[in-house]
């Protein structure tokens, strides 16, 4: 079974630029999560989708971050405009239910904002 | 702000010893508790989850939960150099899953 796929793996941009990350979950997994992990900290949940609906986006900075999951499969997370403090690893995870113990993480995208 | 606190370490233990990792949380309404292992440069992977007070054992790992003290711990018996990683505690209540900053464990051969 293929795991969670993410791209790109690395991205370097200047502040005020835009960037987008892509995630393809494990086949059949209805729930998709985006996390932000700043160096030295634990992951922080940004948004949770159930199929193509949003379950929780309370920690998503909506003035600059947006996410969508069209057709309930793959998902895109966008940052516009980026700030220096957005430098982090962005992790995508998926599960076939809403139980967090079932979630599988992708390899992550490391974003550096200069 | 719901908080999950962990000692950042590093915690160094000799090979074959028991490693004890601790975590406290602020939200008394928390219901589910998770331990993840994260190797450097890799994604987190789930080791254990626990919902009820007491101990839960899985192989060399034991999770312990004390809701009255708002405390959860992970014991690793017969520690191996391959256990060297950062261990993340995560807590779920009626809010999004909250992770601690993690404890870095180093098992010395």
Across the interface, whether the CB atoms of B46 and A91 are under 8 A apart is answered no
The string of pLDDT tens digits covering residues B30-57 is 999 999 999 999 999 999 999 999 999 9
Phi, psi of A109 (to 5 degrees): -120, 120
Q: Which residues of B touch A40 (CB under 8 A)?
A: 8, 101
Minimum CA–CA partner of A91 in chain B: B43
For each successive 10 residues of chain A (114 residues), what is the average pLDDT?
92 98 94 95 94 92 95 94 98 83 90 98
Q: Which residues of A touch B32 (CB under 8 A)?
A: 100-101
The whole-angstrom distance between residue A100's C-alpha and the CA centroid of its chain comes to 15
* C-alpha closest to that of B50 among B4, B92, B6: B92
Nearest chain A Cα distance for residue B51, angstroms? 11
User: What string of pLDDT tens digits covers the 109 residues of chain B?
Assistant: 679 999 888 999 999 999 999 999 999 989 999 999 999 999 999 999 999 999 999 999 999 999 999 999 999 999 999 999 999 999 988 777 899 999 999 999 9
- Answer for the pair B73, B54: CB distance below 8 angstroms, yes or no: no
Q: Is the dihedral of CA A112, B47, B96, B86 positive or negative?
A: negative
pLDDT at A1: 64
Cβ neighbours, 10 Å, residue A98: 12
Q: Which residues of A touch B90 (CB under 8 A)?
A: 42, 100
- Backbone angle region of B78, left / alpha / beta, with phi > 0 → left and psi within -120 to 50 → alpha: left
């Amino acid at each position: 079974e293929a795991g969670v796929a993410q791209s790109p793996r690395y991205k370097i941009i200047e502040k005020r630029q835009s960037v987008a990350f892509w995630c393809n979950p494990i086949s059949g997994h209805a729930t998709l999560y985006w996390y932000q992990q700043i160096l030295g900290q634990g992951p922080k949940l940004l948004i949770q989708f159930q199929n193509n609906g949003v379950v929780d986006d309370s920690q998503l900075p909506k003035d600059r971050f947006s996410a969508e999951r069209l057709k309930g499969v793959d998902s895109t997370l966008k940052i516009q405009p980026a700030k220096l403090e957005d430098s982090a690893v962005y992790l995508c995870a998926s599960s076939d239910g809403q139980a967090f113990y079932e979630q599988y993480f992708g390899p992550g995208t490391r974003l550096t904002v200069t | 702000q719901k908080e999950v606190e962990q000692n950042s370490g590093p915690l160094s233990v000799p090979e074959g010893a028991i490693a004890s990792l601790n975590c406290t949380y602020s939200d008394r309404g928390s219901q589910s508790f998770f331990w993840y292992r994260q190797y450097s440069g890799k994604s987190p992977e789930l080791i254990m989850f626990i919902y009820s007070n007491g101990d839960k054992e899985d192989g060399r790992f034991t999770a312990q939960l004390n809701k009255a003290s708002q405390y959860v711990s992970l014991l690793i018996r017969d520690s191996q150099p391959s256990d060297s990683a950062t261990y993340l505690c995560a807590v779920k209540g009626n809010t999004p899953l909250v992770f601690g900053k993690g404890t870095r464990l180093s098992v010395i051969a």
